[in-house]
Amino acid sequence: MWILRLNMTDRTYKLEAVPERYKNLGGRGLTSTLIYDEVDPMAHPLGPNNKLVFAPGIITGTSSPTSARLSVGGKSPLTGGIKEANAGTGWAPAAAKMRLKAIVVEGQPEEAGKYWMVAIRWEGDALKVEFMPADEYVGRNLYEVFPEVYARFGDKVQVAGIGTAGEFKYPNSGVVFNDMKDRPSRYAGRGGLGAVMGSKGLKFIIVDPTGAPGVEILNPELFKEGSKKMREALMEHPITKPKGGLNTYGTAILVNILNEAGGLPTRNFSAGRFEGAAKIAGEAIFETNKQRMGREIYNHACSPGCIIQCSNTLYAPDGNEIASCIEYESDWAFGADCGIDDLDKIGEMVTLCNGYGLDTIEAGVAMGVAMDSGVIPFGDADGAIRLLHEMGKGTPLGRVLGSGAAMVAKTYGNPRSPTVKGQAMPAYEPRAVKGIGVTYATTTMGADHTAGYTIAPEILSVGGKSDPLASETAKADLSRAFQSTTALIDSSGHCLFIAFAILDIPSGFQGMVDEINAICGTSMTGDEAVAMGAEILKRERAFNEAAGFTRHDDRLPEFMKYEKLPPHNVTNDLPDSVFDAVFGNL
């Protein structure tokens, strides 16, 4: 295993043996540890001293189900703190099979505005790395560019890159990866890491694993047993099994569920129910496709080896694709949060974000704040599409919107800024679902549902049941437990959605631990594995504290304390001590 360092100042590279400290790490555990070890917390996120780290998970590149995940890490230009963004893509197992523990991008070109790409391939018995100009791909929609890249490098390659949002260095810009049909639709979207990549003059990293040796498994028999346990749990659980909730309706199945619970943020977090929810929900996508295509269409995998298969495609009446895929958070961001109930328009906006390199969550929430501030009316889908084009083109207004929801609120003097540490809240109202509010406030990542998904017990009754409206100190314990386990899952290389199965089926959790032990040659217990997740959180927290964050940054927005949220008419009434207890007791 190696760490590959790409120096963008002089366009050279270096292969290093993996230090002992990193040998049992992967994914988020490795990105956060490398950033903690090597980046000055006070460094400017877009300056030469920040680094961008790509790390496949510990078991990524193996035959384990639903394990093709990749972490991208750096100091965030959106939050100013440490950041990990996660994606499912064939790029991840391709890098892992080439025995790349991590790729670390360092420095930046002396010539401003010049962009490069790096091609990495396996040749003979060695890794080959080549830098080449990428100017011909700059300033263009990624849906136009990706076919050209594949025509040039062949259909076996996997692509990571940025769109114009990253070139403009927007705090709302993601790192894009290809999906299973080579579309630019898989994103490590949150926190502006696309801008970090853009600041380094790096347009694409192209990997070709043909002939690579594959992932080394130290205990093949234990790995086989663990993988079997994981597969059986995923195939059994009603949420993750074939033709279960996620495979049939995708993640957008949550639209109606959260709306019924009064926790679907609507019109810039001014209400918890949206009257148009049923028109944009996962069920509506399924029925629309059935009507237009004349058959039931179940969902597909976002990455190799995924057996949950929750990625959908929305088809137009003529059979052409409008978008693939429309995740719940994207559906909500351009739907309920903007007061838009036109599914086709929402799909068009998702595709525009993919083409321009924008995070759909941050873009949609920024749009909601802009609507709340009078830039365009709520419900104006065509106006929203126009503003997305402004973001893609880098106009003055587009640059304000591309800077994220907090900047839009500040620019227009709007106190209703649904952000924590500068990052927009996703699709769960923290006044109506108290535990996810604790996660939003305290996670090291800025407001992020995936950092500690308490929606599982609070809304879905998975892993137990917790009253979402209860204002109790136990919400701190709930969030902390989920944050620690999530850091472990993000490090493993499994998709976060395995959490549904491993929370309810203990053998599934043991299967994940067995897989990790088999790869690393360790003998961790389940408790020790979760403790590893807690250690990752401690490093991230230490980085943020050194960057200037305090406990006062672990708070929900002030307006949520005094604005009652319909229909339950609730506020954020948790005392500060609950938020402080999350890391205080870690």
* Per-residue pLDDT, 111: 87
405 and 445 part of one domain: no
446 and 417 part of one domain: no
In a domain, 512, yes or no: no
pLDDT of 206 strictly over 90: yes
4 DSSP β-pair partners: 15, 103
For residues 174 and 87, the answer to whether their CB atoms sit within 8 Å is: no
% of the chain beyond a pLDDT of 70: 100
Could you check whether the bond before residue 567 is cis, i.e. omega within 30 degrees of 0?
Answer: yes
291 and 355 part of one domain: yes
Report the chain's terminal Cα–Cα distance, integer Å.
32
In a domain, 241, yes or no: no
Dump pLDDT digits (tens) for 484-539: 999 999 999 999 999 999 999 999 999 999 999 999 999 999 999 999 999 999 99
In a domain, 142, yes or no: yes
333 and 470 part of one domain: no
Dump pLDDT digits (tens) for 431-490: 999 999 999 999 999 999 999 999 999 999 999 999 999 999 999 999 999 999 999 999
Phi, psi dihedral angles at 171 (to 5 degrees): -60, -20
* Per-residue pLDDT, 586: 79
CATH code for the domain of 191: 3.60.9.10
Number of domains in the chain: 3
392 and 456 part of one domain: no
CATH code for the domain of 267: 1.10.569.10
| Exposure b/e, 278-300, CB count within 10 A at least 16 = b | ebbbbbbbbebbeeeeeeebebb
* Per-residue pLDDT, 233: 97
407 and 487 part of one domain: no
Dump pLDDT digits (tens) for 117-142: 999 999 988 999 999 999 999 999 99
437 and 336 part of one domain: no
On average, the pLDDT of the chain sits at 97
328 and 415 part of one domain: yes
In a domain, 54, yes or no: yes
For residues 261 and 313, the answer to whether their CB atoms sit within 8 Å is: no
pLDDT of 171 strictly over 90: yes
pLDDT category at 112 given cuts 50, 70, 90 is confident
pLDDT of 102 strictly over 90: yes
* Per-residue pLDDT, 585: 79
Residue 546 structural domain: 430-496+521-586
Phi, psi dihedral angles at 15 (to 5 degrees): -100, 130
In a domain, 63, yes or no: yes
* Per-residue pLDDT, 24: 97
Taking the C-alpha atoms of residue 530 and residue 586, their distance in angstroms, rounded to an integer, is 12
Q: Of 405, 428, 451, which one is at a domain's C-terminal end?
A: 428
Section 346-372 average pLDDT: 98
* Per-residue pLDDT, 124: 85
444 and 418 part of one domain: no
Taking the C-alpha atoms of residue 581 and residue 579, their distance in angstroms, rounded to an integer, is 5
Dump pLDDT digits (tens) for 298-322: 999 999 999 999 999 999 999 999 9
363 and 265 part of one domain: yes
